[in-house]
Chains A and B, each alone.
Chain A
Amino acid sequence: MDAPFFKYGLFSEDASLLAAFLIGGGFGFFLERAGFGSARKLAAQFYFRDMAVLKVMFTAIITAMVGLTLLSQAGFVDLSMVTLKETRLTANLIGGLVLGIGFVIGGYCPGTSVVAASTGRIDAMIYLGGMFAGMLVFGFAYPALQPLVESHSMGKVTLPAFFHIPYGVLVLGVCLMAAGMFLAAEWGESKVNGTPLTPTSLLGGGRRTNTSRIVVGGLLALGLVAAVAGDPYRGSTATVSTSELSRLVDGKADHLVATDLADRLIAGRNDFRIIDLREPQDYATYHIPGAESLPLAQLGTAELRADETYLLYSQGGIHGAQAWILLKARGLPRVYSLYGGLDAWKDEVLYPALPEQPTAEQAAEVAKRTLVSQYFGGQPRSGGAAMPAVPQSLPPPPPPSDAPPPVQKKRRKEGC
């Protein structure tokens, strides 16, 4: 059995709504257990009176982090299929600051306000109304805010990838950091409130074991296991089914032809990531609109995700096909190569050889392919004319006047 269950198709979209209700039920239950249905308790975090927000949040983070890492290292969960939000440093930073200010003003964050409202807090019900109104205002102001919201994206970046630290080692580091923060928080609470440490805390209670010490100590021990258990991402050890791959190739389910790609780009149906496998300087000279640069040599270790679709191309067809096998071996389900590579793209889309005297049945096709070629900044060549020189720096294609924009965003289905 493979996890995540839903992404491996183990249950339907409708059943996922039942799972949502059950998961949400647990979420709300534990938020209320912790006392987060009270704005005064939540706000006390910001006056160092009661650091429960920090303790609960970081215990939850390290529990889920350690658990997911160990399950992935054991091969049970495919970590690359767990949805990761894109990193946009400016937007994350500013949004976080605004949210923190809203937290102190309103007394709740969205999740806790829901729980507070359901346990009778009138201010939380008003807060929910404010959040609804805020969404309306934000929506109407969106055209002005869009540049900030969609500011530069670094893509999906994890801390281990960013700092070049092995995943498990970073997991242990976060556990240790959390434990240090817990100790500091308990010490600070006792200083600010002038109260002695309680016997149930990490610092109080003499030498006896208590619940707090068992939970935090247990998580640290599991974090230590994660640190030495290797790379949680599947990949280097994956095996391929040769019969399945040959069946895909035989059935032409492994590639996309250049003219189909052009049609999809124009229609805005490109829900895949286009990967340019050539060297960065070639990519800089010319690339297919919307393509990302990822040289072939980096393909084995690049962070690619099983829930995305990839289209690979290089100059000719060979590297794209080799990369296709490589990514199939890494267990990515939806990978295609561009048949004939960039050469075919130039030959068939940018500078197609079209008949000079088209017959009646050819006429529509010729007109269409002329338009397509011009859309991408090319020009059909007639009859025996030689192929024009390699385009040095083609202008980006103008947006079509009435067609939808080439890149259409998928609706965010999950996340907060």
Chain B
Amino acid sequence: MSDPASHPPQPHMNPYLAGFGLGLVLLASFVVMGWGLGASSAFATCASTCVAAVVPEYAMQNGFFSEYAGNPLKDWLTWEVLGAITGGLVSGLIANRSRLVIERGPRWSRGKRLLLAFAGGMVMAAGAKIGGGCTSGQALTGGALLNLGSWVFMFSVFGGGYAVAWFFRKQWL
């Protein structure tokens, strides 16, 4: 974690150029694997595998846990997420953006921010598993494949976000 004063973080990449790079990665996934990107299911696999290890009989008869439980080290998405951790780390180090901080607006306390981060993660898990994916697997991947359901999902994400943004403005602004 570098010192912000002597090594200021570099400005972000041009958003269109970053999007183009991201799009080429997604295209590579389509051509090489035959499917797109994902993220949330790696956590479903992780959680289900833990449940299956503790209460195997229950996990087998639960439609969700039985579907996702399996060796995470043999799971494509687990390795993709491990790659994303590495790729993000490399980019952050190059640009001097890696530092231990809590992201929040100036008027919001650390404790409340961490509480909402945890709550947001929980809500996100439910949304992703109800909607059939998250911003990566549905919006980005399905968007590029012109999947009807993914486009409905994508506009719902923006709709849901804008609908409640006002209530959480103090956390961010």
**If the complex has contacts A46-B165, A77-B30, A98-B123, are A55 and B15 also in contact, measured as CB distance less than 8 A?**
yes
Residues of chain A in range 109-133 having any CB-CB distance to chain B below 8 Å:
109-124, 126-133
Residues in B with CB closer than 8 Å to A26 are 21-22, 24-25, 28, 83, 87
Instruction: Judge whether B147 and A414 touch: CB under 8 Å.
Output: no
Does any Cβ of A come within 8 Å of B5's Cβ? no
Residues of chain B in range 17-60 having any CB-CB distance to chain A below 8 Å:
17-41, 43-44, 46-48, 50-51
B84: nearest chain-A partner, CB-CB: A28
**If the complex has contacts A24-B80, A47-B165, A416-B41, are A138 and B126 also in contact, measured as CB distance less than 8 A?**
yes
Instruction: Judge whether B88 and A29 touch: CB under 8 Å.
Output: yes
A81 vs chain B, min Cβ distance (A): 5
**If the complex has contacts A37-B97, A95-B130, A158-B148, are A131 and B124 also in contact, measured as CB distance less than 8 A?**
yes
Instruction: Judge whether B138 and A100 touch: CB under 8 Å.
Output: no
Q: How large is the interface on B (under 10, 10 to 19, 20 to 34, 35 or more residues)?
A: 35 or more
Instruction: Judge whether A7 and B34 touch: CB under 8 Å.
Output: yes
A215 vs chain B, min Cβ distance (A): 4
Q: Is the interface of B mostly helix, strand, loop or mixed?
A: helix
Interface centre among A32, A34, A96, A211 (most CB of B within 10 A): A96
Residues in B with CB closer than 8 Å to A64 are 23-24, 26-27, 30, 36, 140, 144
Instruction: Judge whether A19 and B103 touch: CB under 8 Å.
Output: no
**If the complex has contacts A105-B168, A110-B134, are A27 and B25 also in contact, measured as CB distance less than 8 A?**
yes
Instruction: Judge whether B23 and A67 touch: CB under 8 Å.
Output: yes
Residues in A with CB closer than 8 Å to B171 are 43, 107
Instruction: Judge whether A23 and B32 touch: CB under 8 Å.
Output: yes
| C-alpha gap A97/B128 in the complex (Å) | 10
Instruction: Judge whether B130 and A56 touch: CB under 8 Å.
Output: no
| C-alpha gap A123/B110 in the complex (Å) | 9
Write the residues of chain B forming the contact surface with A, with a CB cutoff of 8 angstroms.
Answer: 1, 12-41, 43-44, 46-48, 50-51, 62-65, 67-68, 70, 74, 76-92, 95, 97-105, 113-114, 116-165, 168-169, 171-173
Ranked nearest first, the 3 interchain pairs of A and B with the lowest CB-CB distance are A106-B120, A416-B137, A95-B131
Write the residues of chain A forming the contact surface with B, with a CB cutoff of 8 angstroms.
Answer: 3-7, 13, 16-35, 37-41, 43-47, 49, 52, 55-65, 67-68, 71, 77, 81-89, 91-124, 126-140, 142-143, 145-146, 148-149, 154, 156-160, 162, 167, 170-171, 174, 182, 200, 202, 211-212, 215-216, 219, 307, 409, 411-416
